[in-house]
Amino acid sequence: MKFRLDFVTNSSSSSFVCFGVSKDDIKIADEVYLKLFDEYVKDYRDKSWFKLSDKELENMVDEDKIEFVEDELDPEDLFSNDIISVGGQENDEVGITMETLLSKFPEVKIKDIKKIVAQELNNKFSTNFTENDISYFESGWYNG
């Protein structure tokens, strides 16, 4: 028997499995928004579709940058990185998928999974999650 450990999608169904928290439980600090803005500009400034001119960038204050991130970046851009994933039918779960846990933390013991997830979320979002805050999410839906 084969177990699917990652995000699965086809024309009729989708699923998402992770250890994490509800997106609503993450209160993003201003510093994190500013960091995300800087990363966004650095990664995409040279793309033809990038909307901000050099003058606009120069005149933006922190509040403008925060508002831009809140309004313009989708949840995948805002919450994800090479370890953290966003998923669920409404993109309302944030955590680490089983595939990522196995590939990035191959020596992890089952009893330590929630602790690692809490640490990674805290690193990304400057939060104070403990292993007691981490839940197991398993979402599936039919796109018929």
Q: Which amino acid is at 47?
A: K
Write the pLDDT tens digit of every residue in 54-98. Answer: 999 999 999 999 999 888 877 777 788 889 998 887 888 999 999
Domain ranges, ordered by start, for the chain: 8-142
Write the pLDDT tens digit of every residue in 2-58. Answer: 445 555 555 445 567 889 999 889 888 888 889 889 988 998 899 998 889 999 999
- Smallest CA-to-CA distance from 42 within 61, 57, 24 is with 57
Q: How far apart are CA 110 and CA 9, in angstroms?
A: 26
**Distance from CA of residue 47 to its chain's centroid?**
23
Scan for tokens 């606009």, then name that residue.
56
Those residues whose C-beta lies under 8 Å from the C-beta of residue 65, and which sit 6 or more positions away, are: 33, 34, 37
Would you state the structure tokens that stand for residue 133, as one six-digit string? Answer: 């805050």
Contact 44, 139 (CB under 8 A): no
Contact 76, 23 (CB under 8 A): no
What is the model's pTM?
0.71
